[in-house]
Structure 1
Amino acid sequence: MIEESAIVVKIENHQVWVESGPYGACGGCLKKASCATNAIGSVLKKKSVPVDSDIQLKTGDQVMVAIDENLLLRASLLLYLTPLIALFTGAGIADWLLADNAKSADVWIAGSAVLSFLVSLWLINKAQSLLIMSYARPVVVRKV
């Protein structure tokens, strides 16, 4: 689990919203750009984020928020590797289908690559809203 300190900013409808705490563990570290521990902190600093909590909390509480690193790895593979594979697959299929027509083949290959890339992004967006976002949210693990 990747953990980050956060502060509860509001609670509404049994939903806890947190922002990154003022005393992040990576604030003074010189290697924070290449460290996975700072991953949640970089997201939480930008805005309030809804998190799941089984702990009774009130506004202003300092908590430890965590997310499973396997979920982050799977999301990274989905968001970066899938469009790249779709791009090359679309170009490869168009190249295979248009091998005899050399005049306009380059335009169709490029168009097919871009189209397959955009379709993969759309499919990822749909899959993310249907499947991933329901269980890949950070959770409050403890009060600090």
Structure 2
Amino acid sequence: MIEERGKIVAIEDSAVWVETVQRSGCHGCAAKSGCGTGLLGDFWASASRVRVQVPPAEMATLQLHDTVVIGIGERALATSSLVVYLAPLVALVLGALAGQTLGSEPLAIAGAALGLGAGAVMVRLYSYFQRGNSAYEPQFLRREQGSPCAIPVSPVH
């Protein structure tokens, strides 16, 4: 299970809205202070809100601004990553090869562009068919005790 800490920004009957800060992958690196990529990642970090279903027993203990841990399954994340990154790349290469086989370099470029577009459509269709799959929804794992979240709470729009 891939875990992320966040702050509760809204409470509903059976769910909460959790705000997390999206950071670059190298925010935990030891060389962060001397690395331009880490500094840019912190500069471009943005908050996102996600609705998370909470079991009724846990719902009674939660309050606004509590720090909670949410998670998503590793298999769901790995599968989605493969589809999102690999499908357009493979379609681009196949399109370029098809265009090259048909004739010239301009056809290879056009085939690559069409392949990339087809790959994007495949990703969109995958997303559409997975929209109701509970494996892709974040799960409430636990409420953090005694360690406040360093995420600033912005007003709910």
Query: What is the TM-score of this pair, normalised by structure 1?
Result: 0.70
Cα deviations across residues 43-83 of structure 1 (Å, max 9, x unaligned)?
A: x9522222232231332222111111221111111111111
Aligned partner of 2:50 in structure 1 is: 49
Contact 1:19/1:45 (<8 A) preserved: no
Whether the aligned pair in 2 keeps the contact of 1:5 and 1:64 (CA below 8 Å) is yes
Q: Among the aligned pairs, what percent are the same residue?
A: 31
Counterpart residue number, 2:110: 111
Counterparts of 2:27 and 2:111, CA distance in 1: 45
The residue type equivalent to 2:96 in the other structure is A
Could you tell me which amino acid in structure 1 is paired with residue 53 of structure 2? D
Structure 1 residues 130, 16: closer, same or farther in 2, change over 3 A? farther
**Equivalent residue number for residue 39 of structure 1:** none
For residues 109 and 80 of structure 1, what CA distance do their matches in structure 2 show? 21
Partner of 1:37: none
| Superposed CA RMSD | 2.7
Q: TM-score, normalised by structure 2?
A: 0.65
Q: Unaligned stretches of 5+ in structure 2?
A: 33-44, 145-157
Alignment of 1:1-144 (within 5 A): 1-12=1-12, 14-20=14-20, 30=30, 46-54=47-55, 55-56=58-59, 57-96=62-101, 98-99=102-103, 105-132=104-131, 134-135=133-134, 136-144=136-144
